[in-house]
Structure formats: structure tokens, C-alpha cells
Amino acid sequence: MTVHKDGGGNISRVGRIEFNPPKAQEFPFRRTVFVYGIPPNSDEQWIRHKFDCFGKITKIKFDSGAASSPRKVGARLLAKEPSRVTRLQILDKNHTEFKFSKEVPTEKLCTYFCHKCGRLKEYADGYYSSTGLQKSCLFCIQCAAKKAEENLKFYTSSNTTYQDDKHVRRLYGIDESSTEDVNSFTTCLVVYESQRQASKCVYVRSRLGIDGCFATHFHNYTRNKKDICQGIDSSPAMNLPGMKRQESTHKLVKVPSMRGHRTSGARFEHPGMRRYASVPAKIHGRDTHI
């Protein structure tokens, strides 16, 4: 709408009839997170309980089933990195396990000091507490993610061959994800109130899963979804329906180059287009051609 004022101070408004402002984007690019590997039969309340510690959630949308594109994207992401940290284990003599919680001990005691970074944190933002004898040892979710990443790097960089690899993986909190059955998990899109909250969620849940589910940025989800729609399969181990690359029946044929081809032979002239020789003329006493 445009507002005009005339010389007398009168105001006239000009606008379009029945104007509808543009609708807000359903899934904002920078504030949306793709969560995959969710246990079956999980509802919206479960997602909020596990993921609202990163910020305020404004929208949650689950996939429509096993044949949907989000479910295939989730299987693809799980297949890319089969070794993932799903439990926080500290490499001490007891391999103490730390579990995620948001519980506040008392109304007066709402904050704590992280055992790793030493910063003052709030219980409501989530934390990891030890299950052993040292229950007073707490880690904030960012430090827990760093510790999980260190455990995975230490395990993958070691060239030692273990007799009981499953037992060793369990000590490091590493589980292997199965993508053979897309019905064994679900996925959803989670929209946060700000980009910072979404980035915080991806930072933590891409390194340290919770109950087998992980998170990634929305642009990574859309890129993998595009590859699946085009039939590009980055993992040869995946045999999911609709994720194989389709071979084209068309073949490329080499066309001879047209460079260097010139017309040869007699030169023809069209009637009325004869070439006239220049006639010498004198201008200012000098011979010129016209």
C-alpha cells in the first residue's frame, strides 16, 4: 500500500484489492533440522522431550511411511557412517556411562558447573550425568558431544585388531546402524525458533546420538534427497527400492567435427551483383579511387 499526501494535508491510500501477503516458509532453510533413526512408534511428545533442550521447537513433521523420500534419506545417511556413538562412555577403568537428562534437582538449584569446560550451565538445557559412584560428575551437552567425537576418533584410528570387537565397541559407546529395513526407524523435520538453536542441535546430535537417532542440517537432507530422486547411490551396500541408479538406454555418438570445413569449387555471382572496378577521379589535383 502506498500513502500520498496532497498540498492540503489530505492523505490518500493506494493499494491492491484483496491483497494477500506472502506466506511464511513452512520449513525455513537455516532453522530446520532433519532427525533420522528415530525409534518406531515415537510421537511428537517424544521428539520434544529429547530435542527441546536446544531451543524452542515451532514445528514437527514426521515422514509418511517407509516408501517416502525422508525415510530413504535417513537410510542413506545411516549407511554412510555405520559406526556411530550412541552412548557416552568415559575411558576410565570402569568405562563409566553417562546418560542424558533435563531434570532439575530442586527449584533453588537450577544451575551446575560442567566437569569438562567448567562453565556455569542450566539443568533445563540438558546435561549428561554419570551412572556410577561419582553421580556428582556432570557434562554439558556440548562437552558430551566433543567427548563422543574423541571416542570415535580414538577407536577408528587404532590399528589394533580385537578378538571381541563388539565388546570393545560397547565400551566406547559405538553401535552399528542397520539400514536393511526402513521400517525399523522413522524420521522427522524439526523447525527451531532460531538458526543458532538448529546449529546447536546438529552439532550435538550429529556426534552423539540419543536412543539411536541423529540430526543433520536441512541443506544436507535436501542434497541427499535430490541424489535419490536422480538415482545416484553413493553406497554400494544399499539395495533399497528406488535408490539404485537407472541406466539410460540412450548412447552418445561421436559427431565429426565441423571445424576447418570450407566451401571449395567455382565461385558464383548473382546477377545484378557484379563487382565494379574503381574509377580514378581527380580531387584537388590528386588521383583517388571511388
The H or E element that residue 281 is part of is strand 280-283
For residue 144, the tally of other CB atoms under 10 A from its CB is 23
Cβ–Cβ < 8 Å for 141, 126: yes
**0.75 exceeded by pTM:** no
Residue type, 66: A
The predicted pLDDT at position 4 comes to: 57
Distance (Å, whole) CA 191 – CA 20: 24
From the list 132, 113, 129, 109, the residue with the least C-alpha distance to 121 is 113
Q: Give the closest residue to 192 by CA, choosing from 22, 34, 23.
A: 34
At residue 130, the 3 state secondary structure works out as strand
The pLDDT, as a whole number, for residue 119 is: 93
**Distance, CA of 54 to CA of 190 (rounded, Å):** 11
Residue 187 bridge partners (DSSP): 36
Determine the pLDDT at residue 246: 44
HEC letters along 136-174 = CCEEEHHHHHHHHHHHHHHHHHCCCCCCCHHHHHHHHCE
200, 198, 192: which is closest to 144 by C-alpha? 200
**Residue 245 has what pLDDT?**
41
Give me the helix-helix angle, 69-80 and 218-229, nearest 10°.
100
Whole-angstrom Cα Rg for the chain: 34
Query: Along the 290 residues of the chain, how does pLDDT read in single tens digits?
Result: 555 566 666 666 666 667 676 666 788 999 999 999 999 989 999 999 999 999 999 999 999 988 899 999 999 998 888 788 988 988 777 778 899 999 888 878 899 999 999 999 999 999 999 876 555 789 999 999 999 999 888 888 876 666 677 778 888 888 765 555 778 899 999 999 999 999 999 999 999 999 989 999 999 999 999 999 888 765 544 444 444 444 444 455 566 665 555 555 555 555 555 555 555 555 555 555 54
